[in-house]
Amino acid sequence: MSKISAVFRPMRPSDAEVIAGLDREIFGSSIGKDALINEIRLNPLAHYFVLQEQETLEILGHIGLWIDEENAQILNFYVKPPQQGKGYGKLIIESTIEYLYLHGVKNATLEVRPSNKTAFALYTKYGFKVVTTRDNYYDNGEEAYLMLKKL
Ligand SMILES: CC(C)(COP(=O)(O)OP(=O)(O)OC[C@H]1O[C@@H](n2cnc3c(N)ncnc32)[C@H](O)[C@@H]1OP(=O)(O)O)[C@@H](O)C(=O)NCCC(=O)NCCS
């Protein structure tokens, strides 16, 4: 793995345009810049982060969660395509798990496509387990795995 000099920090309103662009590039859609800013500013459940390269300030990745007392839901998670496969995904998940521990979260859930082998392998590595499947979850009719990690 290449040397990592990146910081995991809360997302700021000034990141929203970049994040909305990456959402669209990676998933084909985004809630959009304004909705992201509203989430950060107004939604007490929203805990959004970015991974940022320390020298170039490039946004390398993003994770968005809702935390409601002991329950956290991972809504959005990715590493920018040219930066994938360098360990940044692991860094984001490790940083997130540490954050969840500090917040007293007991259960963390997420949905993932069974065909997304990279994400599935990553989640499994960090202790997420398949609880059930959700039929017709994605636009193309693909089912989702609901995965849970007990902290
Ligand atoms: C899933 C994603 C976040 C992983 O981030 P990443 O920075 O590429 O992953 P890392 O380099 O940290 O690798 C983490 C682990 O993923 C798995 N992995 C990485 N590349 C893989 C590949 N090509 N095939 C299978 N597993 C792979 C491995 O378990 C790896 O751990 P290891 O190196 O100890 O074996 C990233 O690929 C991504 O953004 N994908 C597109 C968006 C997405 O699918 N998001 C998740 C939606 S649920």
Segment 94-149, tens digit of pLDDT: 999 999 999 999 999 999 999 999 999 999 999 999 999 999 998 888 999 999 99
Going from the C-alpha of 32 to that of each of 14, 40, 73, 98, 135, the distances in angstroms are 13, 12, 20, 28, 27
Distance 18 CA to ligand 1 centre (A): 21
The pLDDT tens digits for 54-78 are 999 999 999 999 999 999 999 999 9
Distance 122 CA to ligand 1 centre (A): 6
What's the pTM value of the predicted model, to 2 decimals? 0.95
Q: Which residue out of 111, 122, 130 has the highest number of ligand 1 atoms within 8 Å of its CB and is therefore the one to mutate?
A: 122
Thinking of the domain 6-150, which architecture would CATH place it in? 3-Layer(aba) Sandwich (3.40)
48 three-class SS? strand
What distance in Å separates the CA atoms of residue 120 and residue 113, rounded to the nearest whole number?
8
